[in-house]
């Protein structure tokens, strides 16, 4: 503890100067960078230097409000710290001139204040803030991931110091007692898994952090690694101590270069401070961590496939038992945990198992992290107590469905999750309730769907993903999903028949039962849940050859209503990539159906005053319309 106290004091001292300075924090996780955060940073640096302003510009991670990227937080002594959203070079100029030079904080551009104050509402005053409860996202976006002193000054690594003063058994007991369940999908209790690894008396043991995150639309793990890598590193070191491992790995997909760079840098810094390597913090415990880059196959996130790929073999799942805890990497006992699971560990050690269990539900303590995407007003990364309902999550935290459209479904749990309708929105989010409803918690991908989404197409989309990602080892996974996909394609394209729905149902059960790993065993979930909750959409596609959501390209046509068209505006003509829209002799516009590729451009660009472009389904509706 003494060594840690020394590190902590030095870090606090080093970071103290920030309190007296203007600090501009720019969110540069991948979401921020893709929205232009690096240009914003360059613009601040240019403006500050042109105006000879002494301020610190820091790159931080993501605070989760991804819908408003690029995000900038300005902390200036004497003013409340304010967060600005959708910042561009113009706003930078304004903030520097009006705020930093003329003391006007430009409240009209501020999203929220960071800390309570008498002037401006904070994030906690938003309906989202009232529900959100941040444990592992708390420092994301507030500390610089490349600066270990910022982490340490906020008590980072104190849990490790505390753990090293405990026996490995006591640490293990605390994690077991907390009932921390794995956040990588299955919700298996972390303490039980760790304990299993200690039963094998081998003297070499490994711990691995699973940062593969292959679910389409999911970015929780990436964001945490990019925003607060030390939190996960600290969790992995504590895990290693509890199970007496000497070597650890981060398995991160190569498509996450920023996460890889930041984790590698954080590991170097931890090593320099004596938090990794020989005799950590002066204790008898020695341990080090390396980063292993995965090649990006979804199936490599599965535990046994991940280990195979780390051993240089093809990443294909293996039959179990033995489980990794008994015989994992190079045949040695291995603990594999998800990024989020490990991120909770320092908090549990610092504040205790009882504190952790005070949040969430008895069966699923703690919080749940979601990447909230799709048809939702405020997309981003959110952390809510387990037990929060889906309705609260989508409508209060996410701000509901935009553009006055109606909510249709939520797809939860990634490609192997399920689609739940409005009637299921009041179920609490936890591992057990979701699985009862036919969905799964998965790793936290959550896609909101509105009235324009076709549920048959959605099932098809997710099944196509898993079908393409199947390693091919099991016949049912390889061929069964292919057959299911063909049936769904037929239905979406107007060739479906009633009997095929029974085949779809039967195949789903067979694929579930006959697959070795959870990729196959859960692949039918989107199909089964859409059949259970949205059966009428399948029926309409089959019986009427019509897509009720006007989505499936083969079952719709675009039509320009002569009565509504302005004749003169011509916008749709310019927007059509295939020149399918022509001007009739009377000046009105019309669509040459053979040339139309259903890109939706004309519908999107026709000015709202006219709203002349509509979709018709089934395509036969067109002749009725044309006949007047
Ligand atoms: C096809 C497939 C892909 C998976 N991908 C991931 C992943 O990207 N990240 C992850 O943590 N777990 C993934 N898992 C779950 C892991 O196999 C394993 O259960 C998890 O990493 C254990 O960590 P946890 O107990 O902390 O959740 C996947 C499982 C399957 C079947
Ligand atoms: S279920 Fe699918 S992905 Fe899993 S081992 Fe079998 S073929 Fe491979
Ligand atoms: S954009 Fe709309 S109003 Fe304008 S010409 Fe095309 S259909 Fe008519």
**Model pLDDT for residues 237-267, shown as the tens digit of each residue:** 999 999 999 999 999 999 999 999 999 999 9
Instruction: For residue 604, give the ligand nearest its CA.
Output: 3
Pocket of ligand 2, candidates 485, 516, 521, 525: which has the most ligand atoms within 8 Å of its Cβ, to mutate? 516
Give 214's pLDDT tier (boundaries 50, 70, 90): confident
Q: Quick one: what percent of the chain has pLDDT higher than 70?
A: 100
Q: Are 410 and 183 in contact (CB under 8 A)?
A: no
Give 197's pLDDT tier (boundaries 50, 70, 90): very high
Q: Are 308 and 179 in contact (CB under 8 A)?
A: no
> Can you tell me which atom of ligand 1 is nearest the CA of 213?
8
Q: Is the CB of 474 under 6 A from ligand 2?
A: yes
Examine residue 322 and say whether the peptide bond preceding it is cis (omega within 30 degrees of 0): yes
pLDDT given at position 298: 93
Give 157's pLDDT tier (boundaries 50, 70, 90): very high
Give 207's pLDDT tier (boundaries 50, 70, 90): very high
Give 111's pLDDT tier (boundaries 50, 70, 90): very high
**SS3 category, 296:** coil
> Can you tell me which atom of ligand 3 is nearest the CA of 602?
1
Q: Is the CB of 303 under 6 A from ligand 2?
A: no
Q: Is the CB of 520 under 6 A from ligand 2?
A: yes
Tell me what the mean pLDDT of segment 294-321 comes to: 92
- Going by C-alpha positions, the residue among 100, 105, 1 that lies closest to residue 52 is 100
C-alpha to C-alpha distance for 498 and 314, rounded to whole angstroms: 40
**SS3 category, 83:** strand
Residue 320 has pLDDT above 80, yes or no: yes
pLDDT given at position 139: 96
List phi, psi (to 5°) of 531.
Answer: -65, -35
Kindly list the protein residues whose Cβ atom lies closer than 6 A to any atom of ligand 3: 560, 565-566, 569-572, 589, 605-606, 610, 612-613
Instruction: For residue 337, give the ligand nearest its CA.
Output: 1
Q: Are 562 and 602 in contact (CB under 8 A)?
A: no
Task: Enter the DSSP assignment of 626.
Answer: H
> Can you tell me which atom of ligand 2 is nearest the CA of 477?
2
Task: Enter the DSSP assignment of 144.
Answer: -
In whole angstroms, what separates CA 522 from the centre of its chain?
19
**SS3 category, 61:** coil
Q: Are 151 and 228 in contact (CB under 8 A)?
A: yes
Residue 614, class by beta-carbon neighbours within 10 Å (0-12 exposed, 13-18 middle, 19+ buried)?
middle
Residue 299 has pLDDT above 90, yes or no: yes
C-alpha to C-alpha distance for 515 and 480, rounded to whole angstroms: 10
pLDDT given at position 381: 94
> Can you tell me which atom of ligand 1 is nearest the CA of 342?
26
**SS3 category, 285:** coil
Give 323's pLDDT tier (boundaries 50, 70, 90): very high
Pocket of ligand 2, candidates 299, 507, 510: which has the most ligand atoms within 8 Å of its Cβ, to mutate? 299
Query: Based on C-alpha coordinates, what's the Rg of the chain?
Result: 27
Cβ atoms within 10 Å of 332's Cβ, excluding its own: 18
Residue 15 has pLDDT above 90, yes or no: no
Q: Are 257 and 222 in contact (CB under 8 A)?
A: no
- Going by C-alpha positions, the residue among 130, 84, 132 that lies closest to residue 108 is 84
**Model pLDDT for residues 440-481, shown as the tens digit of each residue:** 877 778 999 999 999 999 999 999 999 999 999 999 999 999
Residue nearest to atom 18 of ligand 1 (CA): 303
C-alpha to C-alpha distance for 87 and 68, rounded to whole angstroms: 8
What b-and-e string marks burial along 61-97, b requiring 16 or more CB atoms within 10 Å of the CB? Answer: bbbbbbbbbbbbbbbbeebbbbbbbebeeebbbbbbe
CA–centroid distance, 343 to ligand 2, in Å, is 29
CA–centroid distance, 510 to ligand 2, in Å, is 13
Query: How does the average pLDDT of the chain come out, rounded?
Result: 94
Query: E strands within 355-444?
Result: 367-374, 380-385, 407-412, 418-421
CA–centroid distance, 462 to ligand 2, in Å, is 16
Give 227's pLDDT tier (boundaries 50, 70, 90): very high
| Gap between the terminal Cα atoms of the chain | 84
C-alpha to C-alpha distance for 84 and 109, rounded to whole angstroms: 6
> Can you tell me which atom of ligand 2 is nearest the CA of 299?
3
- Going by C-alpha positions, the residue among 78, 75, 108, 77 that lies closest to residue 94 is 108
Instruction: For residue 473, give the ligand nearest its CA.
Output: 2
Q: DSSP string spanning 169-195? A: HHHHHHHHHHT-B-TTTT--BHHHHHH
- Going by C-alpha positions, the residue among 339, 324, 294, 400 that lies closest to residue 136 is 339
Q: At what angle do helices 455-469 and 525-533 cross, to 10 degrees?
A: 170
Q: Where are the alpha helices (DSSP H) in 297-389?
A: 303-310, 339-351, 353-357
Pocket of ligand 3, candidates 573, 601, 606: which has the most ligand atoms within 8 Å of its Cβ, to mutate? 606
Q: Quick one: what percent of the chain has pLDDT higher than 90?
A: 87
**Model pLDDT for residues 518-564, shown as the tens digit of each residue:** 999 999 999 999 999 999 999 999 999 999 999 999 999 999 999 99
pLDDT given at position 436: 83
Q: Are 162 and 244 in contact (CB under 8 A)?
A: no
C-alpha to C-alpha distance for 620 and 104, rounded to whole angstroms: 61
Q: Is the CB of 185 under 6 A from ligand 1?
A: yes
């Amino acid at each position: 503890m003494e060594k840690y106290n020394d590190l902590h004091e030095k870090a606090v001292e080093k970071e103290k100067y920030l309190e007296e300075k203007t600090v501009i924090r720019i969110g540069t996780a991948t979401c921020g960078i893709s929205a232009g955060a690096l240009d914003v940073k360059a613009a601040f640096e240019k403006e500050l230097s042109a105006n000879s302003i002494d301020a610190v510009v820091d790159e931080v991670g993501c605070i989760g409000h991804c819908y408003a990227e690029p995000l900038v937080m300005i902390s200036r002594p004497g003013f409340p710290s304010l967060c600005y959203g959708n910042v561009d070079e113009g706003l930078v100029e304004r903030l520097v001139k009006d705020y930093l030079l003329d003391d006007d904080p430009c409240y009209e551009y501020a999203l929220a204040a960071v800390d309570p104050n008498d002037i401006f509402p904070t994030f906690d005053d938003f309906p989202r803030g009232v529900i959100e409860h941040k444990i592992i996202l708390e420092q994301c976006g507030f500390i610089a991931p490349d600066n270990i002193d910022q982490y340490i000054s906020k008590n980072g690594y104190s849990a490790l110091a505390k753990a090293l003063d405990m026996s490995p058994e006591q640490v293990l007991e605390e994690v077991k007692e907390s009932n921390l369940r794995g956040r990588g999908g299955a919700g298996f209790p972390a303490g039980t898994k760790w304990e299993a690894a200690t039963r094998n008396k081998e003297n070499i043991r490994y711990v691995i952090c699973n940062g593969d995150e292959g679910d389409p639309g999911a970015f929780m793990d990436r964001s945490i690694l990019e925003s607060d890598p030390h939190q996960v590193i600290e969790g992995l070191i504590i895990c290693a101590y509890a199970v007496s491992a000497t070597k650890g790995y981060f398995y991160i997909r190569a498509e996450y270069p920023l996460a890889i760079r930041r984790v590698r840098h954080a590991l170097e810094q931890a090593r320099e401070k004596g938090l990794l390597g020989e005799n950590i913090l002066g204790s008898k415990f020695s341990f080090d961590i390396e980063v292993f880059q995965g090649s990006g196959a979804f199936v490599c996130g599965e535990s046994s496939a991940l280990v195979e790929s780390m051993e240089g073999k093809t990443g294909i799942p293996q039959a179990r038992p033995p489980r990794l805890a008994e015989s994992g990497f190079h045949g040695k006992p291995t603990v594999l945990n998800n990024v989020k699971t490990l991120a909770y560990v320092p908090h549990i050690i610092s504040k205790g198992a009882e504190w952790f269990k005070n949040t969430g539900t008895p069966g699923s303590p703690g919080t749940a992290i979601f990447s909230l995407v799709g048809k939702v007003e405020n997309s981003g990364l959110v952390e809510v107590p387990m037990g929060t309902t889906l309705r609260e999550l989508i409508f209060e935290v996410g701000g509901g469905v935009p553009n006055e459209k109606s909510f249709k479904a939520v797809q939860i749990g990634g490609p192997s999750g399920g689609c739940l309708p409005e009637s299921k929105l009041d179920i609490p989010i936890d591992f057990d309730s979701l699985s009862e409803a036919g969905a799964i918690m998965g790793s936290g991908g959550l896609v909101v769907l509105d009235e324009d989404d076709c549920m048959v197409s959605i099932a098809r989309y997710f099944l196509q993903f898993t079908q393409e990602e199947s390693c091919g080892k099991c016949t049912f996974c390889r061929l069964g999903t292919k057959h299911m996909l063909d049936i769904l394609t037929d239905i979406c394209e107007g060739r479906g028949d009633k009997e095929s729905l029974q085949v779809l149902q039967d195949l789903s059960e067979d694929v579930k039962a006959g697959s070795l790993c959870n990729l196959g065993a859960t692949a039918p979930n989107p199909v089964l849940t859409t059949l259970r909750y949205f059966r009428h959409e399948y029926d309409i596609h089959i019986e009427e050859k019509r897509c009720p959501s006007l989505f499936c390209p083969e079952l719709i046509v675009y039509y320009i209503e002569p009565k509504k068209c302005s004749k003169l505006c011509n916008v749709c003509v310019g927007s059509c990539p295939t020149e399918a829209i022509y001007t009739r002799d009377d000046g009105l516009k019309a669509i040459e159906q053979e040339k139309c590729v259903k890109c939706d451009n004309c519908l999107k660009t026709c000015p709202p005053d006219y709203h002349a472009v509509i979709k018709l389904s089934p395509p036969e509706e067109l002749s009725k319309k044309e006949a007047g």
